[in-house]
Structures are given as C-alpha cells and as structure tokens.
C-alpha cells in the first residue's frame, strides 16, 4: 500500500492565478490518475489553493486526451502508468489537441530514462508521488511561471 506524506508545509507555497486583462481568473486543472485514493489526495492538495480549480478528472490515457481536448485546461497533472494509453503517449497526443495546456507528470516512476521521455513528450514538470505532498504546489507555481520543475532527488 502506498503511504502519502501529510500535507503540512504547503501553506506557504504561493501559486499565482492567471491574469487575463485586468481580472484574475482561476487556473483550470485536469487531474489524470487511475488510483482513486491518490486522485483524492491530489484534489485535497489543490483545494488548499483557492486559485486552482479542478475542472475534470480522467482515469486512463485515452480519456485524458479526450478531456484535454474538450476542456482545454491550463494545467494537467498526469500519471505515467495509466491503462489504455500510458501517460507519455497521452502527453504526446495532448500536445496536439491542447497545445496551451501545461503538463506536470505526477508518477511513481523515477528512472532517468522515463524522466527524459516525459520531458521529451512535452512535460513542463515532473513530481515523484512520494514527494507530492511537499512538491506538488511548488511544481504548479514553477510551471505556471513558465519554468520547468523536477522533483528533488532525481
């Protein structure tokens, strides 16, 4: 069974909302994760920031591509080990149907080859699931600021 770190320490992470004209809007997030307890964990982590709004969820790669096309989210949190279409292949297709969406992989995969493939597929960030409690919001902030994010220890 996977054990997740508590969400403490994330209160001070600042995620700047997207600005459109003179108004501030929410950052629209698509969460793609096939393990429901971890999907709920991501939801509770994002809920700590009022400027991040989950607009959709998907449990497999094909559904991720379809939802990305329909919703055109600002940010996509994407697992790699997904049924029907793995996250790397899904990211490549998402780049075609939702080119403005920024992708952060949130996965248990930590090999150098997989990380490289993830960034080559169009990812902007990479968070290892065991570090998600402390790094997920920092990754979102970095990526939304136009930077890349790589989980510590990789």
pLDDT tens for residues 95-154?
A: 999 999 999 999 999 999 999 999 999 999 999 999 999 999 999 999 999 999 999 988
Assess if residue 112 is contained within a domain: yes
pLDDT at position 42: 96
Assess if residue 106 is contained within a domain: yes
Assess if residue 28 is contained within a domain: yes
- In 133-152, which positions are buried (b, 16+ CB within 10 angstroms) versus exposed (e)? bbbbbbbbbbbbeeeebbbe
* pLDDT tens profile 13-72: 444 444 444 345 799 999 999 999 999 999 999 998 889 999 999 999 999 999 999 999
Assess if residue 10 is contained within a domain: no
Assess if residue 38 is contained within a domain: yes
CA–CA dist 151, 138 (Å, integer): 10
Assess if residue 75 is contained within a domain: yes
**pTM value?**
0.85
Assess if residue 7 is contained within a domain: no
Number of domains in the chain: 1
Domain hosting residue 104, numbered range: 23-150
Assess if residue 139 is contained within a domain: yes
Q: In this structure, what CATH number is given to the domain that contains residue 98?
A: 3.40.50.2300
pLDDT at position 24: 53
């Amino acid at each position: 069974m996977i054990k997740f770190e508590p969400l403490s320490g994330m209160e001070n992470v600042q995620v700047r909302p997207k600005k459109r004209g003179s108004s501030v809007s929410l950052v629209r997030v698509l969460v793609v994760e096939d393990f429901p307890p971890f999907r709920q964990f991501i939801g509770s982590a994002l809920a700590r920031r009022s400027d991040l709004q989950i607009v959709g969820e998907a449990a497999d790669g094909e559904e991720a591509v379809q939802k990305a096309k329909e919703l055109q989210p600002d940010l996509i949190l994407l697992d790699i080990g997904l049924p029907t279409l793995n996250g790397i292949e899904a990211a490549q297709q998402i780049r075609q149907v939702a080119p403005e969406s920024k992708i952060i992989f949130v996965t248990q995969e930590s090999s150098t080859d997989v990380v490289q493939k993830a960034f080559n597929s169009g990812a902007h960030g990479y968070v290892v699931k065991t570090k998600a409690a402390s790094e997920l919001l920092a990754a979102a902030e970095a990526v939304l600021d136009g930077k890349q994010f790589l989980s510590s220890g990789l």
